[in-house]
Amino acid sequence: MNMAEKTRVLIADDHPIFRQGLIKLLEAHEPSLIVGECGDGMETLQCIRDLKPDIAIVDISMPTMNGLEIIRCAKRENLPVEFIVLTMYKEEEYLNEALDHGIKGYLVKDNAVSDLITCLKAVARGECYVSPIVSNYLIRRKERIESLYVKNPELANLTATEKRILKLIADNMTSRQIAGALCISHRTVQNHRTHICEKLGLKGYNKLLQFALENKSCL
């Protein structure tokens, strides 16, 4: 992103008053160009395709397609856009999932007005920004991940594909659903599951699913 030029921003939120407030804030304080605004998920994804913003600010909870689904589709299509997520949720599971999707900014709506400019500038520089209200969680998350790898050093032997499949298993997806999501065959997924079990020393029916669910936040 060329910092000498205005940052092209798309704002997506299904509450018009809140959306207009963000637009006025950016126009008043930040050298950004608002290229579009959207009120539902499918419209947002199409606008990202058509308008090619540098940064999309998206609410997690929107009609037709939620913010995380938008991000997932954009990543799958390799659209050149960075995401800042807006949410009412302070729960760790939402931050976990957003981080797993490769977002660059995470703002809790209670603090969005005070945090947005700082967040946008950071993301435009290629950095990440998370609302301070949830930043302590990032420290705890890092500690939990390190602890999991100490207890299960075999995790380091998993391939990138095996790690991705393990995450999808943690989302309670079936092998057929995983095959569809990764565009691979059902048999290939089954083979990967077998290899994961062998590497992690998991034996017995549903042991892999149990392991994935118990450690979902750290995978």
Query: What's the rounded Cα separation, in Å, for the pair 87 and 85?
Result: 6
- 153 to 145, 169, 194: CA distances (angstroms): 11, 19, 18
* Residues of the chain predicted below pLDDT 70: 1-4, 30, 89-93, 138-139
Q: How far is CA 53 from the centre of its chain?
A: 18
Q: What is the pLDDT of residue 141?
A: 72
Assess whether 55 and 21 both reside in one domain. yes
The boundaries of the domain holding residue 174 are 142-218
Per-residue tokens: 218: 């750290």
Last residue of a domain, one of 105, 134, 163: 134
Using the 8-state DSSP alphabet, how is residue 6 labeled? P
Assess if residue 1 is contained within a domain: no
Assess if residue 88 is contained within a domain: yes
The dihedral sign for the CA sequence 115, 23, 7, 29: negative
Assess whether 149 and 108 both reside in one domain. no
Q: What is the pLDDT of residue 90?
A: 62
Q: What is the pLDDT of residue 3?
A: 45
Assess whether 118 and 155 both reside in one domain. no
- How many structural domains is the chain composed of? 2
Assess if residue 98 is contained within a domain: yes
Are the C-beta atoms of 113 and 119 separated by less than 8 Å?
no
Assess if residue 2 is contained within a domain: no
Assess whether 11 and 87 both reside in one domain. yes
* pLDDT per residue as tens digits for the range 75-89: 889 999 999 998 886
Assess if residue 167 is contained within a domain: yes
Kindly report the CATH number assigned to the domain that includes residue 16. 3.40.50.2300
Assess whether 76 and 32 both reside in one domain. yes
Strand partners of residue 34: 9
Kindly report the CATH number assigned to the domain that includes residue 147. 1.10.10.10
Last residue of a domain, one of 134, 152, 174: 134
